[in-house]
Amino acid sequence: MGQVRGASGMRSRLRVTAIASLTPLEELDDDPFLVDSRSQHAMCARWATDHGYVIARELLVRGLRPDHSALWDGVRPGLDLFVAPSRRVLESALSSVDEFTDECARRGVRIETVGRAEPCYDAQMKASVHRRLSMPTAGYDGR
């Protein structure tokens, strides 16, 4: 699992791209999961592992056009897969989820959502996200 046969008959790895939402820190109290891109990417990585894949690329975007080159750079039909934690994350990350889904179908690329429940954030978890995102240049590694 995690490999597909290419047109030449050789086996090649399926390249999985995780999509997370770039949401401003100011929205932490209202929507901590959308702000916590690390947890979004971790959720995608767990999904990939559960399916026998590894994440090859991580995108952190907000309101990106479905045809933007950052999404499609090097993407190969049948050999690439996009995954996001949920449709809600895609709605924040992309300007149009429906147009992106249509573009994926047109290009022969799968799009999956993890479909697991989002974590519940208490005050301590929110404080950890806040510290990690507000002090990235101070050497803080988020632990």
Q: Helix-strand-coil percent breakdown of the chain, rounded to 5?
A: 40, 20, 40
3-135 in CATH: which number? 3.40.50.1390
The H or E element spanning position 16 is strand 15-21
**Annotated domain spans of the chain:** 3-135
Residues 6+ apart with CB under 8 A from 96: 65, 66
pTM assigned to the model: 0.83
Neighbours of 63 (CB within 10 A): 12
Residues 57-116 pLDDT 10s: 999 999 999 999 999 999 999 999 999 999 999 999 999 999 999 999 999 999 999 988
pLDDT of residue 135: 74
pLDDT of residue 136: 62
Residues 6+ apart with CB under 8 A from 56: 13, 15, 16, 17
